[in-house]
Amino acid sequence: MLLTQMLMERSYPVSFSVRDIAYIPQLGLVSAFVSKNASSFLKTYLSCWARGSDFLSPKKNPHMPYNTGFQGVEQLGHQRMSELLRDRSVPKTVVGRHPVERLVSAYLTRIRTWQRETYDSHNRSDWVTVRQSVAGKKQGAHSLSALAAIGADISFDDLVGYVAQTPSPLLDRHLVPQADFAATDLIEYDLVGHVEGLDRYLVELADLLGRKPLDTSGVTVNASRSGESEPPVVSPASRQKISRRYATDFAFFGYTA
């Protein structure tokens, strides 16, 4: 079985890995874009880099391949994409984030509210679907009705409990373990960055590709507005559950619990 088919099979029905690992032909680079890990910024940055343009806020959704020119399995097919993922001459890169901070951010912008960027539609169906699952698990049910989920009181501890009990393929993309998302057990990455040190990562990536970094000053892309909302207190019990659930993330990206 081809590598991309393996990824799609094990992440069914979400298939997050296949959709978010892309080849950027102008840069000769494969990059895994993990949700909640500055993915909008990175896709915008790399697409500007590939086009040879200055770094500008996106007017179109950077998550759509036809807006960036990035190529995934849908564009290249399983055979070609699998070859690229196996090719050691093609550099691969991924950016991680501390699992606790990532889950807190997901809670604030994907559970408490649904953060919308200027390029997004006003559709809130994903927000309702996630809340239906999390609130349903809290009440011992598979899911709540949409109306009940919209008004449900969902705490951070509720989210942690839901994530701890739910298999990765059934999780929303913003909650999936990063190691699963990027298939770190199957893909050998040449450069692993961190959201907490994004500037250094961009310099290291420029060195890897032999390019000059872009000037990102004064430009924000999908910056979290979670500061407008009081962040939850992460209890010792929840921190412990997060450490267990995201153990592969802590290990691969080098974070401490």
Question: Using one digit for the tens of pLDDT, what is the confidence trace for 188-225?
Answer: 999 999 999 999 999 999 999 999 999 998 677 765 55
pTM summary value: 0.90
* Structural domain of 204: 3-253
Beta carbons within 8 Å of 206's beta carbon, 6+ residues apart: 212, 213
Cα separation, 117 vs 27, in Å, equals 27
**Residue 78 is encoded by which pair of tokens?**
């399983």
φ, ψ of residue 32 to 5 degrees: the values are -100, 125
64-79 pLDDT, tens digit per residue, is 887 888 999 999 999 9
Q: What is residue 18's predicted lDDT score, i.e. its pLDDT?
A: 80
Q: What H or E segment, with its residue span, contains residue 8?
A: helix 3-10
Q: What is residue 224's predicted lDDT score, i.e. its pLDDT?
A: 53
Q: What is residue 38's predicted lDDT score, i.e. its pLDDT?
A: 95
Cα separation, 14 vs 129, in Å, equals 14
Q: What is residue 115's predicted lDDT score, i.e. its pLDDT?
A: 63
What's the number of domains the chain is made of?
1
Cα separation, 179 vs 209, in Å, equals 24
Residue type, 145: S
% pLDDT > 70, the chain: 92
Residue type, 122: H
DSSP three-state, residue 191: strand
Cα separation, 164 vs 155, in Å, equals 14
Beta carbons within 8 Å of 158's beta carbon, 6+ residues apart: 134, 135, 137, 138
Q: What is residue 86's predicted lDDT score, i.e. its pLDDT?
A: 96
Cα separation, 247 vs 244, in Å, equals 5
Q: What is residue 167's predicted lDDT score, i.e. its pLDDT?
A: 94
Sign of CA dihedral 208, 22, 31, 37: positive
Q: What is residue 123's predicted lDDT score, i.e. its pLDDT?
A: 59
Length of the chain equals: 257
* Low-confidence residues in the chain, pLDDT < 50: 226-227
**Residue 13 is encoded by which pair of tokens?**
């029905």
Q: What is residue 120's predicted lDDT score, i.e. its pLDDT?
A: 57
Beta carbons within 8 Å of 255's beta carbon, 6+ residues apart: 96, 98, 99, 249
Beta carbons within 8 Å of 204's beta carbon, 6+ residues apart: 191, 193
Cα separation, 98 vs 86, in Å, equals 27
What CA–CA distances, in Å, run from 10 to 33, 48, 77, 95?
A: 18, 33, 18, 22
Q: What is residue 171's predicted lDDT score, i.e. its pLDDT?
A: 94
With beta carbons less than 8 A apart as the criterion, state whether 50 and 24 touch: yes
Q: What is residue 223's predicted lDDT score, i.e. its pLDDT?
A: 58
Which residues are registered as beta bridge partners of 131?
Answer: none
